[in-house]
Structure 1
Amino acid sequence: MKGHRLDQETAERLLSGPVAGPGPLVALLAAVRAAPHPAELRGEPGAMSAFRAARADALRSTSPGTADDTRPGEIPGQGRIRPRT
């Protein structure tokens, strides 16, 4: 099955404007638009902390020469750029 992609403008219109269409689509979009119930957000701080910790670990474990440890005037993996003489 080949899915259809929505462009950003269409997605924003569906999420913010009035919706007409089949009942299941209208119900789905109404649920997506609804504010989260407080119980749904209970684990958010822990999840965000875990995400940040995992991302920090991944950034620390990158190999030398990646964009994360490249300084101005360096090419990743190649060191300083030296002008031709």
Structure 2
Amino acid sequence: MTGHRLDQETAERLLSGPLAGPAGGTGPLVALLAAVRAAADPAELRGESAAMAAFRAARADTLRTTSPAPPHRAQPDGRAGGQPSG
């Protein structure tokens, strides 16, 4: 990593303005921003529906299996719920 820093104005211009040539050594950044701004190629989106469905199913399964246990309620005698009285 280099020590180059962008000021706020330069960052905003690069993110929202027209992509011009390299300004102040930001050529690689300009190229990266141009690539991510471009519309996706149809080949890049093949399988997106299946991938999203698999992600949602895995996420739902994770949420089901890792749901927190219900909080223990104290008994009238001050013991935590579920503790033996011995």
Please classify the TM superposition score into its range, dividing by the shorter chain length.
0.5 to 0.7
- For the pair shown, the structure with the greater C-alpha radius of gyration is 2
Q: Identical aligned pairs, as a percentage?
A: 75
> How many angstroms does 1:54 deviate by?
0.3
Give the drift of 1:61.
0.2
User: TM-score normalized by structure 2?
Assistant: 0.55
What pairs with 1:27-66 in structure 2 (closer than 5 Å)?
27-65=31-69
Cα deviation for residue 28 of structure 1 reads 1.1
**Number of aligned residue pairs:** 65
Letter in 2 for 1:18: P
Gaps of 5+ in 2: 74-86
Distance, in Å, in 2 between the alignment partners of 1:45 and 1:35 is: 18
Q: Which has the higher strand share?
A: 1
SS of 1:32's equivalent in the other structure is helix
Contact 1:15 1:32 in 2 (8 A): no
